[in-house]
Amino acid sequence: MEGDAARTHYERLAVRYDENWNYSPEFVSWMTENLIKRLSLTPGKSRLLDVGSGTGLYARGLVEHAAVAVCADPLATMLEQLPADDRLIPLVASAEDLAAGRVRLPDDGYDAILMKEVLHHVGDPAQVLVGLSRLLPRGGRILVAMLPSTIDYPLFPAALDLFRERQPSPDSIAAAMNRAGLQTELTYDEFPLIFTIERYTKMVRNRYMSLLASFDDAELEAGISEIRRQHPGPEVRFPDRFAFVLGVKA
């Protein structure tokens, strides 16, 4: 995880992580189905490594289509919230730790590696992808699920500007996978989200996105006031568009 600020953000967020992200069971199901489809998991057989798994919000569904899911996250406070399931194996480790071989994994290799919204916290994504690709057998898959370079979220301008500044482009991640020797495919899908303005501004106030940790309380309240000015109605509606970068080891 890049920087102490990001670590502090997620440590503070850990106790209510699922409250913020489980805002829509339909969204979680939609995302899980997209991940399953692209990872080509085999029930009872596939070994999955979920890098940056957090509380295992998606590993819980994915493991039903695999044999085991190693849930790796740099924060033990996240992993402590994994459900009691022998197939979900917690591992305190960052993406950089795994790529560099600094931690011992339960298995020598993995059929599928998932990185959902992780690489924007990594200092050198290309190097991490090279290291993780070594854990794949022939035909193994790495899937990076990430937001695109620009988003249509109903945030305030300073937050959207900061997102554009920090977010790596899916094209650059696909190019890094190619350089790592993976056969790469980039696709997009989106899900329509609807929130009451009260629920959405509560999520913003809780800093549900890591970039919101860059704003102090006064700046955040000013930003929420701007969101309410831009969206005076009872609801906000916007598409949650994701890029899926898939790399297959030849």
pLDDT in tens, 38-71: 999 999 999 999 999 999 999 999 999 999 999 9
The domain containing residue 45 runs over which residues?
4-151+167-194+239-249
Q: Is residue 115 part of a domain?
A: yes
Q: Is residue 200 part of a domain?
A: no
In this predicted structure, the answer to whether residue 8 has a pLDDT above a threshold of 80 is: no
Contact 117, 170 (CB under 8 A): no
**pLDDT tens, position by position, 128-158:** 999 999 999 999 999 999 999 999 999 999 9
Q: Is residue 161 part of a domain?
A: no
- Partners of residue 151 on adjacent β-strands: none
Q: Is residue 14 part of a domain?
A: yes
Q: Is residue 20 part of a domain?
A: yes
Q: How far apart are alpha carbons 112 and 114 in whole angstroms?
A: 7
Number of domains in the chain: 1
Average pLDDT (96-115) is: 96
CATH number at residue 95: 3.40.50.150
Q: What secondary structure letter does DSSP report for 139?
A: T
Q: How far apart are alpha carbons 15 and 159 in whole angstroms?
A: 24
Q: Name the burial class of residue 8, with classes exposed (0-12), middle (13-18) and buried (19+) by CB atoms within 10 angstroms of its CB.
A: exposed
Label residue 22 by pLDDT band (50, 70, 90): low
Give residue 45's Cα distance to chain centre.
Answer: 24
Instruction: Specify the pLDDT at position 23.
Output: 62
Q: Is residue 97 part of a domain?
A: yes
Residue type, 166: R
Q: Pick from 100, 82, 99, 102: which is nearest to 90 by CA?
A: 82
Average pLDDT (221-235) is: 97
Q: Is residue 222 part of a domain?
A: no
Q: Pick from 151, 199, 194: which is nearest to 26 by CA?
A: 194
Q: Indicate the pTM of the whole model.
A: 0.89
Q: Does an H or E element contain 112, and which?
A: strand 112-116
Taking the alpha carbons of 178, 185, 96, 7 in that order, is the dihedral positive or negative? positive
Q: Is residue 231 part of a domain?
A: no
Q: Name the burial class of residue 233, with classes exposed (0-12), middle (13-18) and buried (19+) by CB atoms within 10 angstroms of its CB.
A: exposed
Q: How far apart are alpha carbons 145 and 115 in whole angstroms?
A: 6
